[in-house]
Amino acid sequence: MSEFLERAHPWAVTLVLHNWPVMLYSLVAVLAATRAYIRPHRYTLLFLYGTVLLIIAYEYEKHGRATILDTTSYLFSLEVNPDARSVVQLLLLDVVPVLLRVLGFALIGGSIILRELQARRRSRVARSVVYEL
């Protein structure tokens, strides 16, 4: 048993060191999904969608790159249409990952702003009720 644990330790450390962003995003997504289930609001769903997009962006960059290169090389050969190949690779390998990350963080930021706006609106309503009394 101790031999197994000695061999498993570097593997576990490597797993965590290479995948800590997606583990963090997944933990936050589970917490956001729980909160959205218990108290469904627009801002909780925006936060959940943002974390899911960050998970997708991480996995897209990590595992999708080789598949995209193979697929575009097969579909767009250099002899037939080199321009289409370079444009598709530029879009799928450079633009889409950045767009997914920006959209994910924008949804998270938008959810925080929306929550603050709703909190301010509630406090204004509470103050106006007090002034009317």
Q: Which of 17, 16, 24 is nearest to 104 (CA)?
A: 24
Q: What is the pLDDT of residue 70?
A: 87
Looking at beta carbons, which pairs linking 122-129 to residues 24 or more positions away fall under 8 Å?
none
Which domain does 68 fall in, by range?
A: 22-132
Question: Do residues 65 and 123 touch, judged by C-beta distance below 8 A?
Answer: no
Looking at the domain assignment, is residue 98 inside a domain? yes
User: pLDDT tens digits for 31-68?
Assistant: 999 999 999 999 999 999 999 999 999 999 888 888 88
Number of structural domains found in the chain = 1
DSSP class of 81 = -
Looking at the domain assignment, is residue 2 inside a domain? no
Q: What is the mean pLDDT of residues 63-77?
A: 84
pTM: 0.77
Looking at the domain assignment, is residue 4 inside a domain? no
